[in-house]
Amino acid sequence: MKIQWPSMAQIKRERKAIMACVIVIVALLVLKVVWLDPVIGQNELTETKIKQQQDLIHKYEQKLKQSGEIKENLAKQEQELKEMQKRLFRGTDPYQLAASLGDLLSSKGGEGQKLDIKTYQVLASKEYGLYSEVHLRFNLMTNVDGLYYFLDRVRNSEFAILVQEINIQKIQRNRGPDLVVNVILAALMEKGEKT
């Protein structure tokens, strides 16, 4: 099969149609280059910015969720701190704390337990921000019931008290207390301004 090209006479007759086709093709090319390509580029740029904004929104949502968890944790810690502050000894003098604990832990007016606190001594204090940890040594004479009474008072005390060390010796006596107890307590005391 042989391709026949149009003759010049045919081209002259159809020149208006050919020119119209060429003008339409050139107009379409100009339209694509001038209008369509920038719109497509702008669309791609807008899609990229939207994706970046969505990623940023997702990160902020995660931060908000974390901040909610942190806020809950802080509220819980604040409540624990308030509870702990209720158990702090109100005062600034460790010797006042030792005397108060001596009165609290002794069996004066108790249920007949033989508990005699012979001496107490302030050993050391450690500063921890808003409170101090005070170590106190108590020497007492008692019996088993009195020791139980003493330890029960320490456990159920309104103050934050912890038994650090306890040394118990049994002595031979016919009557009265037969235990010599040396106990070291750690108590929390609020740290205040000393005047």
Going residue by residue through the chain, which has 195 residues, state the pLDDT in tens, using 9 for 90 and above. 677 777 777 777 788 888 888 899 999 888 888 888 888 888 899 999 999 999 999 999 999 899 989 999 999 998 888 887 777 777 777 777 788 777 777 765 455 557 778 888 888 888 877 788 889 898 988 888 888 888 888 888 887 888 999 999 988 877 777 889 999 998 888 776 554
For residue 132, what are its two tokens?
Answer: 């101090």
